[in-house]
Amino acid sequence: MITLTIDGRRVGALPGETVLDAARRVGIEIPTLCYHPALSSYGACRLCVVEVKQRDRRRLVVSCLFPVSEGLEVFTDTERVRKARRGVMELLLARCPNVPQIQEMAREMGVTEPRFPLEDEGCILCGLCVRCCEEISQAHAISFVNRGPMREVGTPFLEVSEACIGCGGCAYLCPTGYIRIEEGLIKIGERVIRELSPDDSRRVKDALGTGKR
């Protein structure tokens, strides 16, 4: 067992766990948009940033990827942490200004107007759908396509996917509603991926459980 300190509280953790794992197990809230306990960590959204102290050195790290270690000191609510999260939130709000969950999280962090040009996208590129499709459904039907500012989530050639099993895991996890189920159809934006398969949907939901993002 490893002992670390989070916000002045001594916390036990297992080797291989992350700071986010240890914090959530004892009820310390750290915001995330790209994390799910049933999936590998990705660190895309950067909202889970915390400050750590090791050997008298303090720095910001992404808590969903940073491993626990003996004697580690973690601070989840310093001014430096809040400033970093607000900066990330400004970028997300500029990208997806009309997404309710992004709007709500921005308000909670005191972000009302982003300093950046508005893009009006629906996807924050969190990768939850891609990881679910690879790790849980094992269909490999969804992936990131294109690069740079053109990067998006989609199926090959942005067409109906033959690889998709219709489980809807991507829609179940999508934090913005960009991937959703409408009238029995799974959609990315306005593009139809496939019809929903109720049996596969139940199987994947059971595998994902009710884990909090």
Classify domain 128-208 by CATH architecture.
2-Layer Sandwich (3.30)
Model confidence at 157, pLDDT cuts 50, 70, 90, reads confident
Model confidence at 159, pLDDT cuts 50, 70, 90, reads confident
Residue among 175, 65, 61 at smallest CA distance from 128: 175
Q: Identify the pLDDT of residue 212.
A: 54
Strands (E), 7-141: 9-13, 49-54, 57-62, 73-75
CATH topology (fold) of 2-109: Ubiquitin-like (UB roll) (3.10.20)
CB 94 within 8 A of CB 116: yes
What is the helix (H) or strand (E) element at residue 132, kind and residue range?
helix 128-135
Mean per-residue pLDDT for 25-40?
97
Extents of the domains making up the chain? 2-109, 128-208
Lowest-pLDDT choice from 5-14, 100-109, 154-163, 200-209: 154-163
Lowest-pLDDT choice from 3-7, 26-30, 188-192: 188-192
Mean per-residue pLDDT for 70-74?
98
